[in-house]
Amino acid sequence: MNLSYYLKGILISVLLLGFIASCGDDNPAEVDVNPPSLTAPGAQEVVLGNSVTLSFSVTISGGYASAQASAQNGSANVTTEPASGATSGAVEVEFTPNSVGAASVTLTVTDSDGQTDDATAVVTVVAEQTVFQVTENISSNTTWETGNTYILGGRITVLAGATLTIEPGVIVKGEAGTGANATALLIARDGTLNANGEANAPIIFTSFADEITPEQVAAGDFTSPNLDPDISGLWGGVLILGNAPISASSEGSDITETQIEGIPTSDSNGLYGGNDPSDSSGSITHISIRHGGANIGEGNEINGLTLGGVGSGTNIQNVEVVANQDDGIEWFGGTVDVTNVLVWNSFDDAIDTDQAWAGTLDNAVIVSPEDSAFELDGPEGSFTSTGHTIQNATIYLQGNGAEELIDVDDNTDVSMNNLLFFGLDEGGSLSSDYPDYAANPDGYAITSIEAIIPAGFTVTDFFPGLESEVTEIADLNAATLGADASVFGWTWASQSGALGSLGVE
């Protein structure tokens, strides 16, 4: 009897425990949710001054809630994120650096349960690229930007149909080279150069050896920090070719186009000449060409600025040429006018004209050419033009020992006026062919000259046959002719004090 009650008690206890357990099934045990998982992008590089977008891959089992970015050496902002509750996606962060060097961005993602994970992207911040190597011809419109230096790795040609725009303050440097490897910037026929510098930001063409920088130019210093203004032949120069008429011949027959001096005949981009007097090759102003004149062959150097068949539609003004192994500027036919030219230390002629150039050079300063201040030639074929004019020029000759002040011959088609000569050296004089030139039937003449004649000499010693056009003056204070030198304040010659030391400013 007692055993029966005992067994019943056990049974009732078991039933009660089962009931209690069944009641507990209304709140099942919670399932564990994994925290977010992030994958950072690979190592990134960004140029100082720019921003970079970093994309982090995320898996969020508990549902996406939020993301927060932090950065070292810069600032970071979340720009793109998954929708609320999403279980996967990408978070994009924009990073902007503060300085060159190492940087990082850490992204922290939180899910709906408050769980978090983070990942870090490594970023290297590099300086903005400001030096560019140019090794290919320019076949499409191209801009060389202010603040940059462009290194010519050879003879670089702006091809027909392409325009090269060079912004103020740009520095163009030519690598060393001679012969077929001489570096130069060549503007082919139907190519265009727009190189419009400014008086406070000239465009400088120089040698790779020159340590001048865009930062120096931006600060207003246009002088070379390491090259003297008489070092020449370190690279080629600038050549501009057009479709304007020229007077040339080959084996006794007239030709309307020919290969420019300084470019190998194997390069057809060196052809110039045509029948379009108003042809345009672009616009060039406030440029300084330095240390050029590389030799490409026996007695064949590149001029500082070569103008072959350049038409009157081209704008050229405010040009400085310093230390060129060959001529400062040479015209081969064409019709282009050029205004405000300074040639300092040319080791052949300062100004050279050929092939019936029919334009005007107005306002020029020439300092210490080694050969002639002016070598002026005329037509080489039967075609003749209206001739060219050189006016308002100041010429200083002492130092390099110029052989001839003005070199003309019997077919020179030039008229010259308002010239000022000083610093005359013994031995330098008017060309011996002047009488043949003066007898020309076309009215070309050299008139209105002032000159400071050194003690012990006479006007005839320097200007035989032209005495009636020469007025002897005591010093530059008495001069009424010559160039307006005030427009050359932007040049190296002016900033170096070379012009001021001569009294030409």
As annotated, the residues of the chain forming the CATH 2.60.40.10 domain(s) are 37-126
For the chain, the farthest-separated pair of C-alpha atoms sits apart, in whole angstroms, at 164
For 362-399, give one letter per residue: b (16+ CB within 10 A) or e. bbbbbbbbbbbbbbbbbbbbebebebbbbbbbbbbbee
State how far the alpha carbon of 313 is from the alpha carbons of 191, 201, 274, 280, in Å.
13, 24, 14, 4
pTM (predicted TM-score): 0.84
Contact 38, 117 (CB under 8 A): yes
As annotated, the residues of the chain forming the CATH 2.160.20 domain(s) are 131-499
pLDDT in tens, the chain (505 residues): 454 554 455 445 544 444 444 444 455 455 688 999 999 999 999 999 999 999 999 999 999 999 999 999 999 999 999 999 999 999 999 999 999 999 999 999 999 999 999 999 999 999 988 999 999 999 999 999 999 999 999 999 999 999 999 999 999 999 998 887 889 999 999 999 999 999 999 999 999 999 999 999 999 999 999 999 999 999 999 999 999 999 999 999 999 999 998 888 889 999 999 999 999 999 999 999 999 999 876 667 899 999 999 999 999 999 999 999 999 999 999 999 999 999 999 999 999 999 999 999 999 999 988 888 999 999 999 999 999 999 999 999 976 666 789 999 999 999 999 999 999 987 688 999 999 999 999 999 999 999 999 999 999 999 999 999 999 999 999 999 999 999 999 999 999 999 999 999 8
Beta bridge partner(s), residue 419: 393, 449
State how far the alpha carbon of 90 is from the alpha carbons of 51, 93, 94, 106, 118, in Å.
19, 10, 13, 14, 13
Q: Is 468 helix (H, G, I), strand (E, B) or coil?
A: helix
CATH of 131-499, one of 2.160.20, 2.30.30, 3.30.2000, 2.40.128: 2.160.20
Relative to beta strand 305-308, strand 238-241 is: parallel
Radius of gyration of the chain (CA): 38
**Burial class of 430 by CB neighbour count within 10 A (0 to 12, 13 to 18, 19+):** buried
Q: Tokens standing for 248?
A: 């040339």
Q: Tokens standing for 43?
A: 């190592």
State how far the alpha carbon of 451 is from the alpha carbons of 25, 189, 352, in Å.
120, 41, 22
Rounded distance, CA 110 to CA 81, Å? 12
CATH of 37-126, one of 1.10.260.30, 1.10.10.60, 3.20.20.70, 2.60.40.10: 2.60.40.10
Contact 62, 33 (CB under 8 A): yes
The predicted pLDDT at position 31 comes to: 61
Rounded distance, CA 124 to CA 100, Å? 8
Contact 225, 216 (CB under 8 A): yes
The predicted pLDDT at position 398 comes to: 77
Q: Is 17 helix (H, G, I), strand (E, B) or coil?
A: helix
Rounded distance, CA 361 to CA 330, Å? 11
